[in-house]
A = this chain, B = another copy of it.
């Protein structure tokens, strides 16, 4: 985040500081008439909607006396500060100073952050007063009537890297989540990783059909399992299961860095409709929540330890299939802005191995 526009971002603790990109600030239905304060990369922003329901984001600090603008209210298309009633438009320009006789406003602008609202989320671009050269990520299948999409959110006390890797890490699932996620039988699975300039993908091959409800939900009629895990810059972690012709269960998590050791996960779970879905549906949330909470406990302890020992000090091992690639992408993206979602990108590197699970 640039600091040439009159504010000092607070000191960052994590090594993973991303260049300006789009992040989800909140769900669309969380932003109503009242202005809403959110945080991205340790910086407080205020979101508000104008009279046409368009969403905007400003730095949450009035340039006059530094009061949070989120204490105020929207007056037509302007955000009004609670202290002296100064008003600001969506560009952060001062449009009214009530006590002024001649309508003298003030030239100091509030930094304004690009906003795009789509698919039920309010996205904010973390470089103020700039023109993003790309659009936010698009969740697949959300508008396809053959699919059901379920949203959920969770806030972790952990860095964005830790959460991203956790979502895409296979080895911990059979250990930390034990019986919940994978059966006790030990399998050896072949994996193949493909690195692209803006993403990394792992295909797990010859994976046996998941047992139990999950497997039957995935494909009632059986078939070959296809399993891809993907990390897409700057912040998308995707677990993609397919089976046979049509079976599909995919979770796509967009991670928003709140503070260095606080990350909000916005997940869309997309499931191909089937006759079993009605049975599966009521079980989905309790099971998913139980898995997430097990992860959250470990990630919080990890984060507390990193603060205690003053830094992240990781060891990468051959069973960390995606971790090193995610770390490398994030570190590169924190040094220079990456062009994202470019369909012309070709594989930059490829390697494979086996894992016990």
Contact = CB atoms under 8 A, between A and B. Distances in A.
Interface of A: 6-8, 10, 44, 60-61, 63-68, 71, 82-85, 97-101, 104, 106, 108, 162, 169-172, 174-176, 188, 298, 301-302, 304-306, 308-315, 317-319, 354-357
A65 B67 CA distance: 40
Contacts of A67: 298, 301-302, 305
Contact of A175 (B65, B84, B319): B84
A286 B211 CA distance: 62
B66 A305 contact: yes
Contacts of A355: 99-101
A207 to B, nearest CB: 14
Contacts of A318: 100, 104
> Top 6 A-B pairs ranked by shortest CB distance?
A99-B171, A99-B319, A85-B175, A63-B315, A67-B302, A108-B315
A315 B8 contact: no
Contacts of A44: 305, 308
Nearest to A67: B302
B61 A101 contact: no
So how many copies of this chain end up in the complex? Answer: 3
Contacts of A84: 169, 171-172, 175-176, 319
Nearest to A310: B8
Output the residue of A63, A67, A311, A357 with the most chain B CB within 10 A.
Answer: A67
B315 A64 contact: yes
B356 A99 contact: yes
A65 B99 contact: no
Given A99-B171, A172-B84, A175-B85, A314 B354 contact: no
Given A68-B305, A354-B101, A176 B313 contact: no
A226 to B, nearest CB: 21
Given A67-B301, A100-B318, A313-B66, A83 B175 contact: yes
A63 to B, nearest CB: 5
A237 to B, nearest CB: 16
Given A305-B44, A355-B101, A356-B101, A317 B188 contact: no
Contacts of A175: 83-85, 98
Nearest to A355: B99
20 contacts: A7-B309, A10-B308, A44-B308, A60-B305, A61-B305, A61-B309, A61-B313, A64-B314, A64-B315, A67-B305, A68-B301, A68-B304, A83-B302, A84-B169, A84-B176, A85-B175, A98-B356, A99-B174, A101-B356, A104-B317
